[in-house]
Amino acid sequence: MTCSEVRAVLEACVDGELEGPVARALQAHLRSCADCACCHRAAAVLPHRIAALVAPALPDQLPAVRDRLRPRPASPLTAGLLASELILACVALTQLGAAGLSTAARTALDGGTALIDGTPSVPAVPEAGALVTLLLLTSTLIAHLAVIGGSRPQGA
Amino acid sequence: MIRSGLLKGGPPAVAAPEALAWAASGGDEDAFAALVTRYQRRVLGFAYHHLRDPSEAQDLAQEIFVRLHRGLRRFDSSRPFEPWFWRLAGNVALTYRRRRAADPAAADPPAGLAAPVSDDGGLGEALAALPPEARLPLLLHYFSGLSLEEVAAVMEITLPALKSRMHRTRAVLREVLEAAT
């Protein structure tokens, strides 16, 4: 085996995954090549070095963990945003309801006229004002959810 | 209240972490505190060597324990606690790192926070230079003691793929450390 062939399988050798002629050839090479023997030793101790790694002393995490687990009441920001959301929703529903009623009435009138004249009735189109309000409501809701999501503490 | 431990065989007789987890899953906060106290040093070490930043490591460690608290009901007390716990820790570390990478404000640790650590011969620095997908299996297997099968499950790769990845990573580390000496 050449040195480069040996280096390519050193980790497999350390893990005991080599057997037969390859393992024997590698052992023979290691006996005769000081550089590769040194690399083999380094490969063999690396897992133990990782296991023995130490970290800096850090403070007790229990108080912080308990704090994260403590249920939190809704913040004034969240409550305020949700209240305005509710008001907007009421406005939108009112507009949509009014639009729906007027459209239904118009359709009924058009239908009656069509019956008399023999002309087809025009399909009902929702009120533009109601659609605009609905659009505003949706975009406001998305913005509010983003604000609420961004202001929520991690892990809470 | 029905406790998962009761459904899955009741409290274990001898293994303390399993007993603590079983008690904590039933709402015993002292048992949960004992688990945190027992594992926090290793969890902080794991988190530190994964993120290489003391402040982020504390945040990750806290998140791991919060997820432990929330997930204790799913713990089967008839099985060993540690593999289950470290699998959970590995998953939290993976998602934490991805979320951190997606957040440009948190991508780079603040300068001056990373504390120099011991005389590990540059191993910590060399580990930190690895991509997370290469570093995490080494930490989970050698530092946290998960079996290769458990690490493969956390990383969502096959066992042969994991072994191959770990061989490559160790070879890279070995060469980096050799070049540094």
The DSSP element (H or E) to which A71 belongs, if any, is none
**Distance to chain A for B167, nearest Cα, Å:** 5
DSSP label at A58? -
Interatomic CA distance for residues B137 and B159, integer angstroms: 11
What is the amino acid identity at position A33?
A: C
| Chain A contact probe: residue of B139, B167, B169, B176 with most A CBs at under 10 A | B167
pLDDT of residue B25: 92
Of A43, A48, A50, the CB nearest to B138: A50
pLDDT of residue B68: 96
Least confident of A100-104, B68-72, B86-90, B162-166: A100-104
**Burial track A32-67 (b if 16+ CB lie within 10 A, e otherwise):** ebeebeebbebbeebbebbeebebeebeebbebbbe
Tokens of B77: 């007390």
Q: Does A128 touch chain B (CB under 8 A)?
A: no
Q: Per-residue pLDDT averaged across B23-42, rounded? A: 92
**SS3 per residue for B67-81:** HHHHHHHHCCCCCCH
Task: Return the closest-CA partner of residue B45 out of A81, A58, A40.
Answer: A58
Residues of A whose CB is below 8 A from B123: 49-50, 53
CA quadruple B19, B24, B25, B29: dihedral, nearest 10: 170
pLDDT of residue B52: 86
pLDDT values of chain A reduced to their tens digit, one per residue, 156 residues: 899 999 999 999 999 999 889 999 999 999 999 999 999 999 999 999 999 998 888 899 999 999 999 887 766 777 777 777 777 777 777 766 776 666 666 666 666 666 666 665 555 555 677 777 778 778 877 877 777 665 554 433
**Alpha helix positions (H), chain B:** 4-7, 16-25, 29-51, 54-71, 81-102, 104-107, 123-128, 132-138, 148-155, 159-180
- Residue B106 pLDDT level (bands cut at 50, 70, 90): low
Nearest CA in chain B to A15: B167
Across the interface, whether the CB atoms of B69 and A69 are under 8 A apart is answered: yes
Task: Return the closest-CA partner of residue A3 out of A19, A24, A26.
Answer: A26
Ramachandran category for residue A154: left, alpha or beta (phi over 0 → left; psi -120 to 50 → alpha): beta
Q: What are phi and psi of A14, to 5 degrees?
A: -60, -35
In terms of pLDDT, which residue wins out, B174 or A1?
A: B174
- Whether the CB-CB separation of B14 and A39 falls below 8 Å is answered with no
Burial of residue B6 (number of CB atoms within 10 Å: 0-12, 13-18, 19+): middle
- Residue B2 pLDDT level (bands cut at 50, 70, 90): very low
pLDDT of residue A119: 60
Query: Whose structure tokens read 């120099």?
Result: B116
Task: Return the closest-CA partner of residue B54 out of B110, B120, B131.
Answer: B110
Of A8, A56, A59, the CB nearest to B115: A56
- On the question of pLDDT at B139 being above 80, the answer is yes
Q: Per-residue pLDDT averaged across B88-115, rounded? A: 67
For A106, A114, A119, A126, A129, the CA distances from A111, given in Å and listed in that order, are 8, 5, 9, 17, 24
- Whether the CB-CB separation of B32 and B24 falls below 8 Å is answered with yes
